[in-house]
Structures are given as C-alpha cells and as structure tokens.
Amino acid sequence: MIGKVEQYLKDRISEQGCIHFTLLDPDKSSGYDCADIAREAEKGGTTAIMIGGSTLASSQDLDDAIQRIKKEVKVPVILFPNGPMGVSRHADAIWFMSLLNSQTSYYIIDAQMLAAPLVKRYGLEAIPMGYVICGEGCVAGYVGHARPISYRHPKLAVGYSLAAETLGMRFVYLEAGSGAREPIPPAMIAAVKKHVSIPVITGGGIRDPEAALAAKNAGADAIVTGNMVEEESLVGEKISEIVSAIRD
C-alpha cells in the first residue's frame, strides 16, 4: 500500500515534472548543522530531506539530527540508510532499498532482513527502491561492494532498473556516488526512463543548475544533491537555482 509520503512525492512529480531532494549526512555535519541546512533547503524549494550516509556509524547522531531537522522544516524527512544502523523511529519514511549490483548478498537482502523488524516496530513508511551504483561509485560503491556500471554500458543500468520494477520496487535510483567528478550521463538516464514506468532518481556529481537540467531533460523524475549543500554557504540560494532549472 502506498503511504502518504510516497503519495506526496508522486503528486509533486506529477505537478512539477522533476523534484529535488536534499541529502544530509550526520556523519559529516552535526545535528545543529543538518537542521540549519534543511531549513535553508526548504526555503530554496527542496521537496524532501533525505538523511543517511555510506559510513554512518551512530544511531544516536542520526536520531539527534532528525529530531532537530523536524523542528525546522515541514517537508518529509526520509531515511537513506546504509544498513540497520540507518533506521530511526523519528523519520517520516524510509527508502527500503536494495543495492542491486552489489557483489555481496548483505546489501541486496541481508541488511534489509535485519532492518525490516525495526521498520515494522517503529511504524515507518517503507518506500521500496532499487539502488544502482554507476560510474566511479565513490564511497557508496566501495562500502556496498558494488560492481559500478560503466557509463559506456547504459544497457546494464536498464537491465537492473527493469529488474527493480519487475520485483515490485516503486522507485529506482541511479547513483554516481557522493563527490563523483561526473554525474550520471543523460544518455544513461534516458535509456532507463525509456524502459521503466517507475520514477527515476539520480544523484552524485550534480553541482549546478546546468547538470540538474540535463538530468531532468533526459527523463529524471528527481534530482539529489548532497555534497553541494555541505560545501556551500548559500544553501537556499544554490538549491533555489537548481529547483528553478528543473521545475516545469
């Protein structure tokens, strides 16, 4: 059953054509900083706050950041977990995701098996998502033992995305990795979008409105920026520029 956060996201996609997520990592920023960034991101027009990180190791830091963020914003806070440690009772929803091109079963299904009882106990809205790491992969690819898909082989991204949809996942995320030198190429996004009917999210390496617009024009339904908001002081302004570029 589709929950209220997922319905909200799909409604925003339908209305706006392409939406923006701000990704915050409590391992890199304190709870206070995450809350400040989230507040400015909401002012800039972000649709939701994603929170998590590839190396997040403290559930206490995660809980603290989410509680502080929720005092500052009205948009949903969605968990982007690296494993059971990335589950918090304080979030509005969780991307219940499988790293489809991992070389180990842990990130495909074992971590999900461990996290599912917590998700159930906390009453979190779970949004099933296929996660596919491409290009450099960066830290996410290393930690997740992924076989990153070369940008020269978009058919592989299409295959994994179709597998996600066929398995019943309701979103697919093409990830270049935090700090990637290049974002997912428009040709790869377009190839995936041509063959799947579920929303396509893309992130990693998107640092300016031009890159975001290129992804949107290729068919992306949602753009994720993370490193940019950690590095920039004018968070709201930067996000506003990206949102203005991608919004119909």
Residue 234 burial (CB count, 10 A): 12
Q: Which residues span the domain enclosing 65?
A: 4-246
CA–CA separation, 248 and 227 (whole Å): 25
CA distances from 3 to 6, 151, 211 (A): 5, 34, 31
- Give me the pLDDT at residue 55, please: 63
Q: How many domains does the chain have?
A: 1
CATH number for the domain including 229?
3.20.20.390
Q: What is the pLDDT of residue 15?
A: 96
Of all helices (H) and strands (E), which one includes residue 67? helix 59-72
The 10 Å CB-count burial string (b at 16+, else e) for 139-176 is ebbebbebebbebeebebbbbbbbbbbeeebbbbbbbb
Find how far residue 143's CA is from the centre of its chain: 16
Name the amino acid, one letter, at 195.
H
Q: Which pLDDT score, from 0 to 100, does residue 199 have? A: 98
The predicted structure's pLDDT at residue 229:
66
Question: Who contacts 247 (Cβ-Cβ below 8 Å, separation ≥6)?
Answer: 16, 17, 18, 45
For 3, the token pair is 């929950």
pLDDT for 232: 55
**What are the pLDDT digits (tens) for 74-93?**
999 999 998 998 999 999 99
Three-state secondary structure call for residue 78: strand
Per-residue pLDDT of the chain in tens (248 residues, 90 and over written 9): 899 999 999 999 999 999 999 999 988 776 668 999 999 999 999 999 999 976 665 788 899 999 999 999 999 999 999 899 899 999 999 999 999 999 999 999 999 999 999 999 999 999 999 999 999 878 888 889 999 999 999 999 999 999 999 999 999 999 998 878 899 999 999 999 999 999 999 999 999 999 999 999 999 999 999 876 655 567 888 999 999 999 86
The 10s digit of each residue's pLDDT in 31-54 is 668 999 999 999 999 999 999 976
